[in-house]
A and B are shown apart, each in its own frame.
Chain A
Amino acid sequence: MIGVAQIQDPGWLGLIASAALMLLLMGTALGFGINMIKEGAIATARATVQLLVVGMILGWIFAREHWWAICLILGAMTCIAGFTAGRKINKVLKRTGPVITLVLAAVTGLTLIYVTQLGVGVRGFDAQYFIPLGGIILGNAMTAAVLATTRFAEDLKEQHDKVEAALALGASPAQATSGLTRKAFTAAVTPVVNAMMIVGIVKLPGVMTGTLLGGVEPLIAAKYQLVVMFMLVFGDGMTALAVLTIIRKRAFTKAWQPRL
């Protein structure tokens, strides 16, 4: 652990007091003739149940430090991320969930091992590092996969004739779609690169906020945030490249005929 974690437990009373803010807002909104009671109630209930359950599961894992439990929960998170991505892409391209899940598993696994062992300097499995870092890599990489795939598939449909014109001149699918691949990759990594540009100026980024709340020294919190940013750019970029390579292969027949 970095220093000694010093954080106030909100306690159940504190939680109820905070949830009262939701009631306060819903009541005020009602005064303006805006009824958000149903949505507010559902969102509050869902968030409460989901987070408390996750908190309890993680508490169990943190207490025991079983390597298989860490793998199990990261695996479950990966599957959910992969299939959520697949569902979002469904409109432009069907059945991408399994492939994206595999890519996310490989990229997250390797990035996580590298960053924990070399970036943070943890030895072996440690739930305290693996689970939060794994989660943030997965969340970002999932978005990157969705952006890259959607962009590529949409562009390929739209520029089908132009791609075919290149194929007709002897271009391979990779050559004929190099411009589309570049655009899709850029679309996938732009959000995280843009975030790097303004980090710390407009608002404190999530990891830094979290570590500061946890009582960590600000300079260490800043270093942590940097480790996380580099990790995220790497994870996003590699996910996009891997997913694009696979989708591109799938988008053409063996005889180099476009299938979109």
Chain B
Amino acid sequence: MGDEPAIRFTDVCVSSQGLRSRLLDPPGNAAEHAILDGVSFEIAPGGVLSILGESGGGKTTLLRCINRMVDAESGNVEVLGRNVRQWDVRELRRSAIFVPQRSFLFGGSVRQELIHALRWNGRGPIKMPFGEVLEAVGLKVDHKQPADELSEGQRHRLCIARALLLFPKILLLDEPSGALDVRTAREVLASIRDWATGHQTTLVCVTHRPEDLDTLGGDALILLGGKVSGRYAARDLLDGKVNADTSTFLGSSSREKA
């Protein structure tokens, strides 16, 4: 298993139709469109991959395929050398933890917030490195403070810390820098990247800010219209050594911000 990639997508397709089909009460007359359209890529164990692309372009769906919140309609998703459909769901989800873009709290103090996830996985709070994971996300707060008193940015970091405490092999972050100012985002991402490197954790990070790549390093996957438009070393992408489509996309996204 050592040589297997941490994650391997082979020709993965997901459509809006497919997502609706599992619903008990599917909304009628919605148009069908592809969300992921033949996506293939690999990430080596311990690697870092950032995913960039237009909003609504399938970035989050791609992450949700990895923890099997979404099933691929065709193609294969393998995690740690095994097809996600062959994993025990709980084992898969605590090996590859997805942290959504919005932060969700389940009640109680900062410490209790961290303990919820431990309990769900049948673990107790004894000897758990609460301090270490909070430090890894740069959160300096009293463990007894009610978590809902934290700022949005702090909450988001608490959610990431909650994931780290389960020591996942793979960490899937959806827009982790979204709720943070530029300077804090840089610090937090650097600190998470260091934690991931230190624990041989594979890091997959959806972002809309190319400057995050500077901090995260590793590779970047560009997802346009549900297809992989290109994959680059973070440095090459920042230096503009990219294909025409990617260049257009990067150009438009930087113009949007200007």
Q: Which residues of A contact B (CB under 8 A)?
A: 93-94, 161-162, 164-172, 175-176, 250-251, 253, 255-257, 259-260
Per-position contact with A for B73-105: 1 when CB-CB < 8 Å, else 0? 000000000000100011001100111101010
Tell me whether A168 and B24 are in contact (CB under 8 A).
no
CB neighbours of A250 from chain B (8 A): 24
**Does B22 interact with chain A (Cβ within 8 Å)?**
yes
Shortest beta-carbon distance from B199 to chain A in Å: 17
Enumerate 26 A-B pairs (CB-CB under 8 Å) in ascending A order.
Answer: A93-B25, A94-B25, A165-B100, A165-B102, A168-B67, A168-B69, A168-B93, A168-B97, A168-B99, A168-B100, A169-B117, A169-B163, A170-B90, A170-B94, A170-B117, A170-B121, A170-B166, A172-B90, A172-B120, A175-B120, A250-B24, A255-B85, A256-B89, A256-B90, A257-B22, A257-B71
With A164-B100, A167-B69 known as contacts, the answer to whether A253 contacts B22 (CB < 8 A) is yes
A93 near B24 with CB under 8 A, answer: yes
List residues of chain B with CB within 8 A of the CB of A251. Answer: 24
Among the listed B24, B70, B120, which residue makes an inter-chain contact with A166, where contact means beta carbons less than 8 Å apart? Answer: B120
Q: Give the Cβ gap from A122 to chain B, nearest Cβ, in Å.
A: 42
In the bound assembly, the distance between CA atoms of A83 and B86 in angstroms comes to 39
A94 contact from B24, B68, B99, B162, Cβ within 8 A: B24
Q: Which residue of A lies closest to B85 (CB)?
A: A255
Q: B23 in the interface, Cβ–Cβ < 8 Å?
A: yes
Which residues of chain B from 1 to 36 have a CB within 8 Å of any chain A CB? 22-25
Asked if residues B98 and A168 are in contact (CB atoms below 8 Å), the reply is: yes
A192 to B220, CA, bound (A): 59
Contact partners of A93 in chain B: CB under 8 A: 24-25
Interface centre among B89, B94, B166 (most CB of A within 10 A): B89
Partner pick for B24 among A161, A165, A256, A259, CB 8 A cutoff:
A259
How distant is A173 from chain B, measured CB to nearest CB, in Å? 10
Given A161-B104, A167-B93, A171-B120: A257 and B25 within 8 A (CB)? no
**Taking the complex as formed, is B106 at the interface, i.e. its CB lies under 8 A from any CB of chain A?**
yes
Chain B's nearest CB lies how many Å from the CB of A95?
A: 8
**How far does the Cβ of A166 sit from chain B's closest Cβ, in whole Å?**
7
- Hey, which chain A residues are within 8 Å of B89, CB to CB? 255-256
Measured between beta carbons, the chain B residues less than 8 angstroms from A253 are 22
Distance in Å from the Cβ of A149 to the closest Cβ of chain B? 12
Residue of A at shortest CB range from B100? Answer: A165
Which of A94, A251, A257 has the largest number of chain B CB atoms within 10 A? Answer: A257
Report chain A residues within 8 Å CB of B93: 167-170, 256
Find out whether the CB atom of B120 lies under 8 angstroms from the CB atom of A255. no
Interface centre among B25, B85, B117 (most CB of A within 10 A): B25
List, in ascending order, chain B residues with CB within 8 A of A171's CB: 117, 120
Q: How far is the CB of A14 from chain B (nearest CB, A)?
A: 51
Which residues of chain A are near B70, meaning CB under 8 Å? 257
Which of chain A's residues has its CB closest to B24's CB? A259
Q: Is the CB of B23 within 8 A of A260?
A: yes
- Cβ A161 vs Cβ B25 within 8 A: no
Known contacts A94-B24, A169-B162, A169-B166; A161/B102 CB under 8 A: yes
Contacts of A165 in B (CB 8 A): 100, 102, 104, 159
Expressed in whole angstroms, the Cα–Cα distance for A80 and B58 within the complex equals 47
A190 to chain B, nearest CB (A): 22
| Interface mask (B25-68 → A, CB under 8 Å = 1, otherwise 0) | 10000000000000000000000000000000000000000011
Per the bound structure, the CA–CA distance linking A164 and B98 in Å amounts to 10
CB distance from A209 to the nearest CB of B (A): 42
Is the CB–CB distance between A257 and B69 below 8 Å? yes
Q: A residues within 8 A CB of B163? A: 169
User: For B67, what are the chain A residues with a Cβ–Cβ distance below 8 Å?
Assistant: 168
A255/B166 in contact, CB under 8 A: no
Please give 16 more A-B residue pairs, beta carbons under 8 A apart, in addition to A169-B162, A256-B89, A257-B71. A94-B24, A161-B100, A161-B102, A162-B104, A164-B69, A165-B104, A166-B106, A169-B94, A169-B97, A169-B163, A170-B90, A170-B94, A172-B90, A251-B24, A255-B68, A259-B24
